Amino acid sequence: MARCRGRAGFSLVEVALALGITAFVSTCIMGMIILGVTTFKRAMDNTVRSAIVQNLTNEIFLTEFRELRRMAKSRSAIYYFDVDGTRLTTPDGAIYTAEITFTDLSDEAGGNALNGLSPGAGTTALITITKVDKTVDRHFVMVGNNQQVSATTAPATW
């Protein structure tokens, strides 16, 4: 039996085709990685914003109603948070700024009862979160006195 001594290896056409397929697949994978990183950053930002809103909303709900009415007189409070959503005492290093604007429901509609509520029945709080890149997110919180209004939170649409 004689062995056939042919050339081992791939032809130029096969190598070019393999390189073309590899380049195409690599380009697609890089595009998906970039999209994935962008989506991940957006998801992290939304998570931090949600945690900030939850933190501030919990504080509002745990505050005595008389104190909320007093805060409504001063109208706003500003808080600073870092990239992880941890509260800071100064604006140095802050990535997020949260402003809570309080409004006593009796102040609405010129002191008249709003939606059938008696004056002093509740306080609203608008939580505005601003990131360093100037993106803004607003959430509306309503807290009732003596359970006349249920405490709710919802993203503001304006």
Residues 70 and 87: their CA atoms lie apart, in Å, by 23
Total number of residues shown for the chain: 158
Question: Does 71 have pLDDT greater than 70?
Answer: yes
pLDDT at 97 over 80: yes
pLDDT value at 149 more than 80: no
- Backbone φ, ψ for residue 98 (5° rounding): -115, 125
- Whole-angstrom distance, CA of residue 143 vs CA of residue 100: 13
- What pLDDT shows up at residue 34? 95
**What residues does each domain of the chain span?**
12-155
Torsion of Cα atoms, 102 then 108 then 110 then 112, to 10°: -130
pTM for the model stands at 0.70
pLDDT tens for each residue of 6-50? 677 889 999 999 999 999 999 999 999 999 999 999 999 999 999
